[in-house]
Amino acid sequence: MTFACLQVRVAQPSAAGGYLAFRHILTVLLWLLLGVPVASATDIIILKSSDIAAYNQAITGFKAALPSGIVLSEYDLQGDLEKGRKLARKIRASDPALVFAVGLKAAKAAQLEIVDIPVVYAMVLDPSKYGLTTQNMTGILLEVPIERQLAMMRNVLPQLKHIGTLYDPAKTTGLIDEARRLLKPNGAELIPLQVNNERDVPGGLRALLPSVDALWLVPDSTVLNEESLRFILNTALEERVPVIGFSREFARSGALLCLSVNYADIGRQAGQLSRKLLDGQLSLPMKPWHPERIETSLNLKTAKFLGVQIPRDIEQQADELY
């Protein structure tokens, strides 16, 4: 980092706003006296939730999309939200041009502590659920748009009429409601079965499978963990019900079809979005972007076992075949 002139953003000329601005000035001056540099106008801070491969792939994509001359600094929360909040306060005091928050805890720490610096998040499922909607925040969504998922299901399984899914109403009700709304005009029906805890999954699955043409897995942590995924895939195959998922690892393990995002590409989009914000081509507040690149994974062994004929064009365009 380099030393730069002190910059303070004041949202409104109110008494409260004046007090906050004054306090911010004092904070920055204290950091200067303690030897902490103030960021230059082209500094970007990367704040990541933890040191895992998926987050690092996104960061690599982000860096590749930035122009030369950007000064980058990176901080790791190590999975600790309170540590993240302390780091976020320090970051706000250094006044960078933008913060790139990777993962939910990093994004939440930034949302709680950074109110007057642009924050771009990535690698967060359902950001609106966690309040990542403040005016200085935007990002790249991690979910494959439901419309694309449903369209691909119909392309691979044209006779599909009844789609089953397991979900926890405390976690994925919004997604289920949206899928039901989108399916209705197409003559298909979503058959959701509620589970309130992990113990409900085996019985719920056995009750659901006889009445559906396919099982759609959604990102719900009550339903899915390593153990339950194996059970779900094995049981669905025993009942000859194709499984549609959201990770290539699901397809590798036996799901018929999976649509997923590429983490490095999510980071690349975040970098492009950041460039446009810094260049003044875009301004906050703004809605998050949907992922541009969607990867298709097919399990041809599963298709053969189930007697499903994958359209040739879809097979040829797939990113992964198992």
Neighbouring CB atoms inside 10 A of 81's CB total 16
What sign for the dihedral angle of Cα 21, 26, 32, 35? negative
Give the model confidence (pLDDT) of 238-252 as tens digits: 999 999 999 999 999
| CATH classification of the domain holding 213 | 3.40.50.2300
pLDDT tens digits, residue range 208-241?
Answer: 999 999 999 999 999 999 899 999 999 999 999 9
pLDDT score of 189: 93
In a domain, 152, yes or no: yes
Are residues 47 and 104 located together in one domain of the fold?
yes
In a domain, 93, yes or no: yes
Residue 303 near residue 297, CB atoms below 8 Å: no
Res 185: pLDDT? 82
Q: Does residue 137 share a domain with residue 19? A: yes
Confidence of residue 42 (pLDDT cuts 50, 70, 90): confident
Same domain, residue pair 151 and 278? no
Could you tell me the two tokens for 234? 């094995």
Distance CA 28, CA 34 (A): 10
Count CB atoms within 10 A of the CB of residue 191. 15
**Lowest-pLDDT range of 4-18, 278-292, 300-314:** 4-18
At residue 270 the predicted structure's pLDDT band, cuts being 50, 70 and 90, is very high
Per the CB < 8 A criterion, the answer to whether 270 and 100 are in contact is yes
Q: Chain-wide mean pLDDT for the chain? A: 89
Tokens of 134: 């403040």
Long-range contacts of 284-287 (CB under 8 A, 24+ apart): 284/118, 284/135, 284/136, 284/137, 284/138, 285/135, 285/136, 285/138, 286/138, 287/138
- Residue 54: CB partners within 8 Å, gap ≥ 6? 123, 263
Residue 32 in any domain: the answer is: yes
Residue 304 domain flag: yes
Tally of structural domains, the chain: 2
Measured over the CA atoms of residue 63, residue 124, residue 48 and residue 7, the dihedral's sign is: positive
pLDDT of residue 21: 42
pLDDT recorded at residue 24: 44
The dihedral over CA atoms of 20, 84, 225, 222, expressed in degrees to the nearest 10, equals -30
Alpha helices (H) in the chain, listed in sequence order: 15-33, 53-64, 81-94, 104-113, 146-156, 169-183, 201-208, 226-238, 248-252, 263-279, 300-306, 312-317
- Mean predicted confidence (pLDDT) in 289-300: 97
**Does residue 37 share a domain with residue 154?**
no
Q: Which two tokens stand for residue 172?
A: 């994925």
Q: Is the pLDDT of residue 199 over 90?
A: yes
Query: Are residues 27 and 74 both part of a single domain?
Result: yes
95 φ/ψ sector (left φ>0, alpha ψ -120 to 50, else beta): left
Distance CA 28, CA 136 (A): 20
The confidence score (pLDDT) of residue 41 equals 52
What amino acid is encoded at 14 in this protein?
A: S
Which residues are 52's β-sheet partners? none
Percent of the chain with pLDDT over 70: 87
Answer yes or no: do 57 and 166 share one domain: no
131 plus 153 within the same structural domain: no
Q: How far apart are CA 322 and CA 319, in angstroms?
A: 10
200 pLDDT higher than 50: yes
Residues 121, 106 share a domain: yes
- Asked whether residue 7 is domain-assigned, the answer is no
pLDDT in tens, 61-113: 999 999 988 999 999 999 999 999 999 999 999 999 999 999 999 999 999 99
Is 113 strand, coil or helix? helix
96 and 26, same structural domain?
yes
What's the pLDDT score for residue 184? 82
Burial of 239 (0-12, 13-18, 19+ CB in 10 A): middle
Assigned domain for 8 exists: no
Q: Classify residue 5: in a domain, yes or no.
A: no
Residue 156 included in any domain: yes
Check: CB of residue 58 under 8 Å from CB of residue 104. Answer: no
pLDDT higher than threshold 90 for residue 40? no
**What is the pLDDT at residue 297?**
98
Whether residue 60 has pLDDT greater than 90:
yes
Q: Tell me what percent of the residues of the chain surpass a pLDDT of 90.
A: 83
The least confident of 11-15, 121-125, 199-203, 279-283 is 11-15
Query: Domain of 277?
Result: 15-142+265-292
In this structure, the answer to whether residues 199 and 55 fall within a common structural domain is no
Residues 154 and 59 reside in one and the same domain: no
Q: pTM above 0.85?
A: no
161 and 252 part of one domain: yes
Task: Average the pLDDT over 264-282 and give the result.
Answer: 97
